[in-house]
Chain A
């Protein structure tokens, strides 16, 4: 199956800082998504981004499908951004996404 590597595994920021999270895939993927798992365990959709760039407020994401990676940018981080960020993607022809191990983000006030 597809291998999904996320980096960094852990990240600690001061409020207001910017950060970039990365997701590498071992093979071409479709249905690439980014999720935020909040402290209550809920998985919140951030982006559905098989390719290209999208922005939503302070967050943006870029997927370079030909290079098999995706980046999530968080600007002006806030304490409410804390949690675990997962990327997930499925192999072509499949609707089954494989999740990475996540990046655990802590934003201090």
Chain B
């Protein structure tokens, strides 16, 4: 069964450093998403991506964040200068109708 994959599973970084989280969506899906979940809280939408551009983004997705589809398979989320409050689980998802989520990347900012 096709699945969404994410790397790394856990990333530890120092405040102010840049991080890139990687995702490989399901191959025939057209919409891609990033979500985050702060520990113990609900899943929050960050950004959606369709046809090689951002289609929607939330208030959380400020100038520190960017997304890219550098090739035909990968979908990345970059955080330019991490803050302590960026510590969270980051999920990638892709959809035809039903959304399928990757296993997540746990980001810890020290």
Which stretch from B12-20, B66-74, B91-99 is at the chain A interface?
A: B91-99
Pair A31/B42 contact, Cβ less than 8 Å:
no
26 contacts between A and B (CB under 8 A): A31-B95, A31-B97, A31-B98, A31-B99, A33-B98, A33-B99, A35-B101, A41-B37, A41-B89, A41-B104, A41-B106, A42-B101, A42-B103, A45-B99, A86-B42, A86-B43, A88-B43, A88-B99, A95-B31, A96-B33, A96-B48, A97-B45, A99-B44, A100-B42, A101-B42, A102-B42
Question: What 0/1 pattern do residues 41 to 64 of A give for CB contact below 8 A with B?
Answer: 111010010000000000000000
Chain B interface (Cβ within 8 Å of chain A)? 31, 33, 37, 41-45, 48, 56, 89, 91, 95, 97-101, 103-104, 106
Question: What 0/1 pattern do residues 84 to 109 of A give for CB contact below 8 A with B?
Answer: 00101000001111111110000000
CA of A98 to CA of B99, assembled, Å: 12
Chain A interface (Cβ within 8 Å of chain B)? 31, 33, 35, 41-43, 45, 48, 86, 88, 94-102
What number of residue pairs across chains A and B have CB atoms under 8 A from each other?
47
Pair A45/B95 contact, Cβ less than 8 Å:
no
CA of A37 to CA of B48, assembled, Å: 22
CA of A96 to CA of B34, assembled, Å: 11
